Chain A
Amino acid sequence: MDVLNLGTKAAEDFIREVEKLSGQKLANCYQCHKCTAGCPAAYTMDLGPGRIMRLVQLGQEERVLTSNTIWVCASCLTCTTRCPQEIDVARVMDTLRILARKKGFKGDKDVPIFNEVFLANLRAHGRIFEPTMLAWYNLKSRHFLKDALKGPVMFFRGKLPMFPHEVREKASIERLFSKAEGGEKK
């Protein structure tokens, strides 16, 4: 069983950080767990949204950022829609994902890889070119044979393009990515 250390500077800092980045007032959450109740992915989460909110309120950075909950969240926004205290729980989840990635905490293995591969593909072309995106994913995640059979099925139905489309003003996309990478982002 966990023993929580409260009132430490690290805990306070984490709470302030999450509040600032997410724009949500964490103290408003009165732990009703309506979010957990309606979460479609909760069945496979270690903590669930309700307990994540609680642990964030208590400043437990490591526990939260190494959970699989924040990665398995499907961003379906059911929690945000039904929260009686009007907290944007999904935005808190986004914030935790952003912090985990920035600070190098490891939770679920595959979802961050997918995000990375997707965005790299976007950056390269301006639009998503599925063939290379999926191929890179398989490589990086080491699920080499994932959807191996589905690929050809999609291709022969004309659902996978052969060549990528390059956005004309690619420099504008690159500027956005550079800005996102450098400096303190919201």
Chain B
Amino acid sequence: MRYAYYPGCSLKSVAVEYDAALKAVCEKLGVTLDEIDDWACCGATPAHAVDRFLSVALPARNLATAQKAGNDVMVACAACYNRMKVANHEIATDGALRKEVNEALGTDYDGGVKVLHLIEVLVNGIGIDKLKERVTKRLDGLKVACYYGCLLLRPPKVMHFDDPENPTSMDRLIEVTGAVPISWEFKTECCGAAMGIARTDIVHKLCGRILSDAKNRGAEMIAVACPLCQSNLDLRQSDVEKDLSREFRLPVLYFVQVLGLALGIDAKSLGLDKLIVDPIPLLTQKGVI
């Protein structure tokens, strides 16, 4: 299996562990990733808040390159995934915009490149049963709250990713490892996303709700699929604890790091040391490490 890989800016900086973990897991499973040549930032949230053309042209630039290379694109960052699928949709349905974008880029892009999230590649491409066979270290008894956030799922008519109100694809991946994906009510509630810098107070409030619900329902760890969600829930956790006068101590791992542990990959390769809320004590206690 081969994919054109689009890391996105965060996976080279604040989310390096996501990149490291997914590369380790892909190598183990025989998935080849070719990083898209000379890729640029997708524009994330600021682009679509400032200019529609820009917000579509930036992802399109990368997709046009991928189309020439020929393979489907795999993305791990939920925000980049969302922007790329939206760009595809806009270009495919708005003829005037398509013309404008192609003129500016000097390309002939039609919005047709298939963009897949890492979760889709693992669940649909490789398959739950095959993954189960490859598990060498079970994470029995570990209670994980799978947090999907917003951009993986919405708007459902464009994203076509799982059930937008009650998704289960990440839960199934966590289940493969032997860990228990708990049932909880804030799976798809926004963490505050791009407000992280400009209105950190909002992120505190929203993450407070998420962390509280997860903890109330017995979660020992939170699994995420988005660098922004990870950073909001992890980096800001201590501040939220202060706001709510409550201890959470919930490590926030990328789901692929959890999967990597079950596949027998070591903690260092998975970048577990890069997480702010230290997962090692919990994992040691559970006999994983």
Given contacts A127-B9, A127-B12, A186-B53, contact A94 B48 (CB under 8 A): yes
Q: Which residues of B contact A175 (CB under 8 A)?
A: 104-105
Q: Which residue of A lies closest to B47 (CB)?
A: A119
Q: Which residues of B contact A88 (CB under 8 A)?
A: 155
Interface-central residue, B43, B197, B206, by most chain A CB under 10 Å: B197
Q: Which residue of A lies closest to B14 (CB)?
A: A159
0/1 interface trace, chain A 65-101, chain B, CB 8 Å (1 if under): 0000000101111101100000010100010011001
- A6: CB under 8 A from chain B? no
Beta-carbon contacts under 8 Å, A96-115 to B:
97-98, 101, 108, 110-111, 113-115
Tell me the bound Cα distance from A131 to B164 in angstroms: 35
- B16: CB under 8 A from chain A? yes
| Contact indicator B38/A168 (Cβ below 8 Å) | yes
Given contacts A127-B9, A127-B40, contact A72 B195 (CB under 8 A): yes
- Smallest Cβ distance from A160 to chain B, in angstroms? 6
| Contact indicator A127/B41 (Cβ below 8 Å) | yes
| Contact indicator A81/B164 (Cβ below 8 Å) | yes
Beta-carbon contacts under 8 Å, A167-183 to B:
167-169, 172-173, 175-177, 179-180
| Contact indicator B49/A97 (Cβ below 8 Å) | yes
| Contact indicator B96/A126 (Cβ below 8 Å) | no
| Contact indicator A77/B13 (Cβ below 8 Å) | no
Which listed segment binds B: A10-18, A36-44, A50-58?
A36-44
Tell me the bound Cα distance from A98 to B55 in angstroms: 12
- A29: CB under 8 A from chain B? no
- A122: CB under 8 A from chain B? yes
- B2: CB under 8 A from chain A? no
Given contacts A74-B194, A75-B194, contact A115 B16 (CB under 8 A): no
Q: Which residues of B contact A90 (CB under 8 A)?
A: 155
| Contact indicator B206/A176 (Cβ below 8 Å) | no
0/1 interface trace, chain A 141-173, chain B, CB 8 Å (1 if under): 100001100100110011111000101110011
| Contact indicator A76/B199 (Cβ below 8 Å) | no
Beta-carbon contacts under 8 Å, B96-133 to A:
96-97, 100, 104-106
Tell me the bound Cα distance from A116 to B44 in angstroms: 13
26 contacts between A and B (CB under 8 A): A72-B202, A74-B194, A75-B48, A76-B190, A80-B155, A81-B156, A81-B164, A94-B48, A98-B51, A111-B195, A111-B198, A119-B43, A122-B58, A128-B9, A128-B41, A130-B13, A150-B235, A153-B235, A153-B276, A154-B235, A159-B13, A159-B15, A159-B274, A179-B53, A180-B51, A186-B96
Tell me the bound Cα distance from A8 to B164 in angstroms: 41
* Contact among A72, A75, A127, A158 with B199 in the assembled complex (CB-CB below 8 Å): A72
Q: Which residues of B contact A9 (CB under 8 A)?
A: none
Beta-carbon contacts under 8 Å, A117-144 to B:
118-119, 122, 126-128, 130, 134, 137, 141
Tell me the bound Cα distance from A78 to B149 in angstroms: 11
Query: Which 10 pairs across A and B sit closest by C-beta, in order of nearness?
Result: A76-B190, A77-B154, A114-B198, A115-B46, A110-B198, A128-B9, A118-B46, A76-B150, A180-B54, A180-B51
Tell me the bound Cα distance from A40 to B205 in angstroms: 9
* Contact among A141, A154, A167 with B40 in the assembled complex (CB-CB below 8 Å): A167
- Smallest Cβ distance from B94 to chain A, in angstroms? 8
- B85: CB under 8 A from chain A? no
Q: Which residue of B lies closest to A95 (CB)?
A: B52
Q: Which residues of A contact B61 (CB under 8 A)?
A: 172-173, 176
- B181: CB under 8 A from chain A? no
- Smallest Cβ distance from B234 to chain A, in angstroms? 11
Q: Which residue of A lies closest to B154 (CB)?
A: A77
* Contact among B53, B104, B198 with A141 in the assembled complex (CB-CB below 8 Å): B198
- B32: CB under 8 A from chain A? no
Given contacts A94-B48, A130-B13, A168-B38, contact A76 B155 (CB under 8 A): no
